[in-house]
Chains A and B, each alone.
Chain A
Amino acid sequence: MQPQQPVQIAVSNTETIAGATIVQSLGLVTGSTVRAKNIGKDILAGLKNIVGGELGTYTQLLNEARNQALQRMMADAQARGANAVVNVRFATSAVAGGAAELFAYGTAVIVQG
């Protein structure tokens, strides 16, 4: 398997892309990842839980995972020949004990201008 190059296409959670008109819709694209928290992060977060406040290890883990879900969605869009994704939405759910699914979806479009 080849290492995935980061995909760079225009992404927005509005229905339009600035300075361009949508000429074709290529359907719904999705990207998802399921992440489990590791035991080291668990222990750190557990200790931090005594005083409360931010649990930095989880913040970082979920941020990376969400980025990956977004990248997968963008790769999906690129594979369909789109150059933009509009109306992107994020969803997150705790699927199993200690694991969360991070999900991004949007409409792949071709824009001109």
Chain B
Amino acid sequence: MAESAESIIALLSILPSFLPIILILFSAVYGTIYQNGLEKKRLRREMEFFNKYGKDNLMTLENHGLSGKPVAMNLVFTNVTVGPSWWQLFIGWLKGIFGGEIQSYSRVLNYGRMEVLQRLREKAAQEGWDQVINVRLESVVISKSAGRNDKTSAIEIYAYGTAVKY
């Protein structure tokens, strides 16, 4: 009995040293499933939007003479903060040795861009605007605390434009 108790204690004492590996594996498996789910959800929302309104209501042009003279306008903006998973960070670090495209990062950023645009579409449509003109997209890295070992890595992407009503 004393032997089995000892072996359990021994097992528990070495467990913390395996924890990072367990977390990274968890991040690789569950993170991939989770991000695929997010991507699917975004695509579905996009499809629903296009089925309902028939066209994209965003444009980067300032010339709104295309659809007539607007009678009202207001600024709209949306944002999203995304971060790569630990697994993606690890892959990115590995890729950093050899160079080339870091697909795990591009994937996260691409998701963020598409998501924030979809939010802008939905917000403008919900508030009853016909079109959003002069759309601008910007992004900023917002984590990495100075002097601390900050494990988070976050990129904020925001989009803004002028919503108009014809």
Contact = CB atoms under 8 A, between A and B. Distances in A.
Given A94-B142, A97-B145, A98-B145, A18 B71 contact: yes
Interface residues of A, number: 39
Contacts of B78: 63
Interface residues of B, number: 58
B79 A62 contact: yes
B74 A90 contact: no
B94 interface: no
**Chain A at the B interface: SS class:** mixed
Nearest to A17: B73
Contacts of B34: 51-53
Interface in A9-44: 10-15, 17-19, 37, 42
Contacts of A110: none
A37 B144 CA distance: 11
B6 interface: no
**Of A56, A93, A97, most B-chain CB atoms within 10 Å:** A97
Interface of B: 23, 26-27, 30-31, 34-35, 38, 62, 64, 69-75, 77-88, 108, 111-112, 115, 133-134, 136, 138, 140-148, 150-154, 156, 158, 160-162, 164-165
